[in-house]
Structure 1
Amino acid sequence: MKNERGDFTPEPNFLFYALKQRFEDSDYTYRYLSEEEQSDSFLLHPMENGRRIQVKFVEYDPLIDSSNMCCNNWIQIAKDIKKEYDQFDGFVVLHGTDTMAYTASALAFICHNLGKPIILTGSQIPVIELRSDGYVNFISSLVVACSCIPEVMLCFDAKVFRGCRAIKIDTGAFDAFDSPNMAPLVKLGFKIQVNSTAVQRPKKLEKFFVNTKLCPDVAVLHLLPSMSIATVKSILNSEIKGLIIQTFGAGNAPSKNTEFIKLLKEASERGLVIVNVTQCHKGSVARYYAVAEGIQEAKVVSSGDMTLEAAITKLMFLLGQEELSVEEKRTLMSKNLRGEITVVQKDESALSLEIIEKLADTLNLSTFEETNKLRDMIFPNLMCGAAKMGELETLKKLKDKGGNLSSANQDGRTPLHFAAREGLVSVVKYLLEEGASVHQCDSNNNTPLMDAIYGNRFDVIPLLVRTGATIHIRNSVRIATELCCAADLDDVDTIHSWHIAGADLNCSDYDKRTALHVAMNSKRENAIKYLLNNGADPDAKDQSGKTPRDYAKKNGILHLLN
């Protein structure tokens, strides 16, 4: 936003340059990014761990005021994230506050098998103003986007909420958003506190994709005392396919108004999906009073403790799935899909694990908080050890006792890193099905896929790739160097590992040499045969203009090309 004559109006590229001027490490940007990349990207100063964040900006033309957001805009955002998904570790959507909660909820349902963070943020005061809260929200969102929290989230005023749980509660305060029925996923203070047990993780061995089938034919009926039947009729007889009824208290409606209940029943019988959402910000739709019985008989679906924004966007999403029957849509509407509904889970105390109990006793720990801290320190190493040894039952027991299967040890390595390196297929599959992240990097910036590659684990690599893992090395020259070294050693296993992980066998090193150049020059027959059988180009030119074919001719092995 730019201030012109006292009014804030959208200005192309203004935000990019304002944030770049504020946060860019210009020396590093100039050194490591090309001139073309610098037109939409910049590098930040190092974080506490020494790593730097590279920011790439994608700005829409024309710019969209949040009050003008619609389904097509949500779809566009989701498609743009999908387009860049393999290239970046996280995504930040800068958005106006008025409909931010709607967009966050919509993206949560559109995005399937999400393995990376998507953060929505913005500001109450535009960044043109000296007191703008936008700068802090932006940098906080970038930090969270570098985490391995695979959810759509909303970051505002040092709190990060699940996207499909957030609502806007204030038009002017910096703490403009809240999540009344769920604690924040992250609190950003002197230390960053992550509520890891609450994080939703994908539990399918499938890649990330977006489902953009949405049906906008949804209306909201906010019940009022003495509301006229004519008003209800006009809404129910319109062209809508779904209706949200905002009811009193814990889901109550005027049950003695038989005409009202009759209209709901008739609409449901016609195939209209009707959802009951409480008018209260906090609490849940529940059957406490007899007045709720009437709408239940009319097949009105209970939303539990869903927000209005989540209920609307979820209904739009389910109505868009034309392959589902009306009953299937009603059933899914009441089920928890993205953490939008509170599900009561069994509470397992860390004290119930014998080793924790004994250590707590030895260290004279008595409170639940102290024991939980001990568990958080010990569990990651216990789980990593169990994964490395292939002790699947131990892993399951640790999880049942409150362990987070995506937690990392002091080296940043998770159980999935160890299981992938050891080639333990059953353990890898279990961890993936329980939501372990294929994108999480250890302190050496290696993902579980890199461990599987370095260990030549042919059975594990396809599992990780199927779940969305990609080679985390952005510089193709480094990959080419690895392939060239393997070719020089006639190490077909290593070449095969890189290949099935998605590496391009025709990528070139600093001298423009491919693995086939090296294999031909060193007369490594096994590597030559593998590379040629898998698409390596015998006519690619290196820096001196020579091709693998030239080296084959020089070494008298032209017959291998046939």
Structure 2
Amino acid sequence: MKHILLLSTGGTISCRGSAFGLTPQTDGEQLLGAVPVPAGVRVDVCDLMRADSTDITAEQRLAMARAVWEQREKYDGFVLTHGTDTMAYTAAFLCRVLRQFDRPVILTGSQLPMEAEGSDAPRNLADALVCAASAYRGAAVCFAGALWRGTRVTKADTLAFDAFSGGNTGCPPDGIVENGVLRLTACPEAGVPAWVQPKPVRAAVLTVTPLLTAEQVAVCRGMDALLLYGYGLGGVPAELEQAVRQVAESGTRVYLGTQCAKGEADLSVYAVGQRMRALGVRCLAGRTMEDAAACLQCGLL
């Protein structure tokens, strides 16, 4: 018998209509009651919060990680129902805080509320329970039948049921769920689970556009880190170079990625990239923005 803990945190899956638009109202027991529980699985429910994922704070995200870590010996797996808009940020955060976690921590949600006609919620939650009872290890997003590793996933569509992708990593999902059966094609390596305590970080995220000025870049001097997203393989215009130099020389760690939806940054190809590398700027390659944020919080970048 597999023992699973369902942690309800809000999101569209738990929403109902109100005078102010959709708001999270449905609790975890109601969500669980709407889907079949896999044979040989027992599920406990804990309502951690009822939040629109846009409003989830660093403290609340840490509370999710603690809820999993503190009950890891009691349960074989975990499911977190969560809003889709920041689900990938939470998944990456859980991957980094719960290092080499030895059981599945599956995040899921939906594009339509559980009670809406034609909702994707029943399938997603049922699939997540299947994944949580599997041999998978670590945090992942289960959505539209795909199981995405938490460090390799991003929200790619605002409305479609198939809302997530591997983003710049180019990685396929670690597994596919069909007819209640999970077929794993990859799994994080086993290791000794450890808690990585996140710390507050002063960081900025800037995207290079024709509107970005040297003065705006210079504001980042003295911060812990700057995530800069350049053109193509990581191009930054020459007119911003001096400002980037000043930021780097102030002690701020500068990381450069690509703003393209697919493909990795590579600072070795063009002169514009090599100029950045000469300033000590570090390349994010194919790391997602969500994972970069989590790594900064956990001191891994």
Q: TM-score scaled to structure 1, two decimals?
A: 0.48
Q: Between Structure 1 and Structure 2, how many residues are aligned?
A: 283
1:253 to 191, 212, 236: 236
- 1:49-198 equivalent positions in 2, closer than 5 A: 52-61=40-49, 63-180=50-167, 181-190=170-179, 192-196=182-186
Deviation of residue 6 (structure 1)? 7.6
AA aligned to 2:251 is G
1:314 aligns to 2:295 (yes or no): yes
Question: Unpaired segments of 5 or more residues in structure 2?
Answer: 1-14
Contact 1:281–1:307 under 8 Å retained in 2: no
Deviation of 1:232 (Å): 1.6
> What is the distance in 2 between the residues matched to 1:314 and 1:136?
31
Distance 1:6 1:76 in 2: 27
Assess if the C-alpha contact under 8 Å between 2:100 and 2:138 holds in 1.
no
Say yes or no: does 1:297 pair with 2:278: yes
1:127-154, Cα deviation, whole Å (9 max, x unpaired):
1212221111011011011111112100
- Give the percent of matched residue pairs that are identical in Structure 1 and Structure 2: 27
Assess, with a 3 A threshold, how the Cα gap between structure 1 residues 226 and 124 changes in structure 2: closer, same or farther: closer
Aligned to 1:240: 223
Equivalent residue runs for 1:197-236 within 5 Å: 199-203=187-191, 206=192, 208-225=193-210, 227-234=212-219, 236=220
CA distance in 2, matches of 1:98, 1:20: 22
Counterpart-to-counterpart distance in 2, 1:263 and 1:2 = 48
2:18 counterpart of 1:9: no
**2:68/2:78 contact within 8 Å kept:** yes
Partner of residue 265, structure 2: 285
Q: Distance in 2 between matches of 1:242 and 1:6?
A: 37
Query: CA contact under 8 A between 1:82 and 1:209: conserved in structure 2?
Result: no
**Conserved 8 A contact 2:80-2:105:** yes
Paired with 1:45 and 1:179, the residues of 2 have a C-alpha distance of 27
Give 1:126 deviation, angstroms: 0.6
Confirm whether residue 266 of structure 1 aligns to residue 254 of structure 2.
no
C-alpha distance in structure 2 between counterparts of 1:152 and 1:120, whole Å: 7
Q: CA deviation at 1:5?
A: 4.5
User: Which residue in the other structure is 1:531 paired with?
Assistant: none
Contact 1:186/1:194 (CA < 8 Å) preserved in 2?
yes
The residue type equivalent to 1:60 in the other structure is L
Q: Deviation string for 1:3-36 (max 9, x for gaps)?
A: 234822222xx33242343346xxxxxxxxxxxx
Q: Counterparts of 1:211 and 1:132 in 2: how far apart (Å)?
A: 37
Instruction: Give secondary structure in 2 for the equivalent of 1:58.
Output: strand
Q: CA deviation at 1:45?
A: 5.5
Write out the 4+ residue segments of structure 1 that deviate beyond 4 Å after TM superposition. Answer: none
| Aligned equivalents of 1:101, 1:243: Cα separation in 2 | 20
SS at match of 2:22: strand
Q: Pick the structure with more helix per residue.
A: 1
List gaps (5 residues or longer) in structure 1.
25-43, 47-51, 319-331, 334-562
Q: Deviations over 1:284-334 (max 9, x none)?
A: 11121111111111111111111111112212221xxxxxxxxxxxxx53x
SS at 1:135 equivalent: helix
Name the counterpart of 1:380: none
Describe the shift of the 1:229–1:58 C-alpha distance in structure 2 as closer, same or farther (beyond 3 A): same
State how far apart, in whole Å, the 1-side matches of 2:29 and 2:17 are: 15
Distance 1:54 1:226 in 2: 54
Amino acid at match of 1:168: K
Q: Distance in 2 between matches of 1:138 and 1:54?
A: 15
- Between structure 1 and structure 2, the one with the greater Rg is 1
Q: CA deviation at 1:169?
A: 1.1
Report which of the two has the higher share of strand. 2
Q: 1:263 to 1:229 in 2, by over 3 A?
A: closer
Per-residue deviation at 1:189? Answer: 2.1
Root-mean-square deviation (CA, aligned residues, Å) is: 1.8
Secondary structure of the structure 2 residue equivalent to 1:7: coil
Q: Residue 132 of structure 1 aligns to a residue in which SS?
A: coil
Aligned pairs (5 A) from 1:411-422:
none
Matched letter for residue 233 of structure 2: A
Cα deviation digits, residues 240-295 of structure 1 (max 9, x gap) = 311100011011111x32xx323222322322111111101211111211111111
- Going from structure 1 to structure 2, the CA distance change for 1:124 and 1:276 (only over 3 Å counts) comes to same
- State TM-score, norm by structure 2: 0.88
Alpha carbons 1:3, 1:128 under 8 Å: kept: no
The AA in structure 2 aligned to 1:187 is: I
